[in-house]
Structure 1
Amino acid sequence: MANTEELPPSELGTKQYWDSLYERELTNFKSHGDIGDIWFGEECVDRVVDWMLNSPHVSPEGPVLDIGCGNGAFLLYLAAEDFKNLVGIDYSARAVELARAVTAEKQFDIAYKVCDLTKHEDLTLGEFAVCHDKGTYDAVSLCPDDTLNNRIAYIKGVHQVTKEDGLFIITSCNWTHDELIQHFSDYFEKEHIIPTPSFMFGGKVGNKVSTVIFKKKS
Structure 2
Amino acid sequence: MTITFITGANKGLGHETARRLAELGQTVVLGARDRERGQDAADRIGVRFVPIDVTDDASVAAAASDILEHEGHIDLLINNAGIMEPRVPAGELTSADAANVFQTNVISVVRVTSAFLPLLQKSQHPAVINVSSGVGSQALTHDPDRVESKVVSPLYAASKAAVTMLTIQYAKALSGVRVNAVDPGYTATDLNGRRGQQTVTEGTDAIVALATETSDAGTGRFVDRFGPVPW
TM-score (norm 1): 0.49
Report which of the two has the higher share of strand.
Answer: 1
Structure number with the bigger relative contact order (C-alpha 8 A, sep ≥ 6) is: 1
TM-score (norm 2): 0.46
